[in-house]
Homo-oligomer: A and B are copies of this chain.
């Protein structure tokens, strides 16, 4: 894709990037004064390459310590070379813990958050007596054995469009409701590694971590599957006793309608 593709009235291209990051050494995605953030690093790299201030918008505002394999960001930039050259330049300039996996020209009205149809997160638990050194940054080490089948039974209650007020609060801004539609929620077991994948149109603040924390109580038999269902129906955030730690969580994918994602 050459530089002439789809320039806006200001001569800037609307761009969509898929980025991966290791959240360990970031204070979350969103820019904060005087803290190291993913958005801040990407904006700094874009400014270094285009010699102009660039504003980056992310599809999901991941918390401090949360990772991403498929965060989507949108921005407008003036760039006189090819898009693939910009991707290469960004990967050369960005620090090792952020990488640009894909970069494409987007429709002028593309907004990574409002255009998104759904998000998919993965939560990883290492369920064995002994911790791991190699994957310590990307999993939650849970020593006591969990009953994955019970956790999967309880997870089925999450499917569908309903009020998830028990598991989180709306992030504020435009959106004041805590109704969300969960499209998929299931646990998989591979040896000692338990992974939970959950897809929803959108998520409340700390929703996945509150669900995973509560599901571990189900996995230990502290809460029955029926209790879990009753907690969900109570819409009472004060019922939450366990919030799973950030480092096990990863934003895997953000889905868009085919026409909105990328210009063909």
Contact = CB atoms under 8 A, between A and B. Distances in A.
Contacts of A138: 134
A134 B99 CA distance: 9
Nearest to A87: B130
A29 to B, nearest CB: 13
Interface in A82-106: 87-88, 91, 96-102
Contacts of A20: 132-134
Contacts of A22: 133-134, 136
Contact of A133 (B96, B102, B132): B96
A131 interface: yes
A39 B131 CA distance: 19
Nearest to A143: B88
Contacts of A69: 134
Contacts of A67: 134
Interface string A204-244: 00000000000000000000000000000000000000000
A98 B133 contact: yes
A99 B133 contact: yes
Contacts of A87: 130
Contacts of A131: 91, 96, 99
A21 interface: yes
Interface string A131-169: 111101010000000000000000000000000000000
Nearest to A102: B130
Contacts of A250: 134
A136 B138 CA distance: 13
A257 B131 CA distance: 27
Contact of A99 (B97, B100, B101, B132): B132
A97 B130 contact: no
Contacts of A102: 130
Contacts of A136: 22, 96-97, 99
Most buried by B among A22, A67, A88, A102: A22
Most buried by B among A20, A129, A134, A138: A134
25 contacts: A20-B133, A20-B134, A21-B133, A21-B134, A22-B133, A22-B134, A22-B136, A67-B134, A87-B130, A88-B129, A91-B130, A91-B131, A96-B131, A96-B133, A97-B133, A98-B133, A99-B130, A99-B131, A99-B132, A99-B133, A99-B136, A101-B130, A102-B130, A134-B138, A134-B250
